Amino acid sequence: MNRSTGLATAGGFLALLLWSTTVALARSLSESVGAVTAATAVYGLGGILTLSRLATSPSSRQSIRTLPGAYLLVCGTLFVAYTVFLFPAIGLATTRQQVIEVGLLNYLWPTLTLLLTVGILHKRASPWLIPGTLLALTGISRILIPAGESSILSLATNLLRNPLAYGFATLAAVSWALYSTLTRKWAGGQPGGAILVFTPATAVIMLLVGCLVDEPGNWNMRAGIEVAVLGTATVLAYGLWDHAMRKGNVVLVVAGSYLTPMFSTIISCGYLGIRPDPQLWWGCLVLMAGSFISWRSVRD
How many Cα atoms within 13 Å fall on the side-chain side of residue 120? 16
- Phi and psi (nearest 5°) for 298? -110, 135
* Cβ-contact 288, 258 below 8 angstroms: yes
**What domain count does the chain have?**
1
Confidence band (pLDDT; 50, 70, 90) for 300?
Answer: low
d(CA 101, CA 77) in angstroms, rounded, equals 26
Confidence band, pLDDT 50/70/90 cuts, at residue 82? very high
Q: Answer whether residue 148 shows pLDDT above 70.
A: no
| Span 84-117, pLDDT tens digits | 999 999 999 999 989 999 998 998 888 899 899 9
The pLDDT value given to residue 91: 95
CA distance 277 to 152: 19
Confidence of residue 216 (pLDDT cuts 50, 70, 90): confident
- pTM for the model stands at 0.89
Lowest mean pLDDT among 114-118, 142-146, 220-224: 142-146
Q: Is the pLDDT of residue 217 over 90?
A: no
Whole-angstrom Cα distance, residue 41 to residue 225? 11
The total number of residues written for the chain in this structure: 300
5-27 pLDDT tens trace: 889 999 999 999 999 999 999 99
Q: Kindly write down the DSSP assignment for every residue of 134-189, as one continuous string.
A: HHHHHHHHHHHSPTT---HHHHHHHHHHSHHHHHHHHHHHHHHHHHHHHHHHHHTT
Structural domain range at position 198: 3-299
pLDDT higher than threshold 80 for residue 189: no
Q: Taking Cα atoms as reference points, which of 83, 48, 91, 53 lies closest to residue 228?
A: 48
Q: Which helix (H) or strand (E) holds 298?
A: strand 298-299
Residue 160 and residue 151: Cα distance in Å, rounded?
A: 15
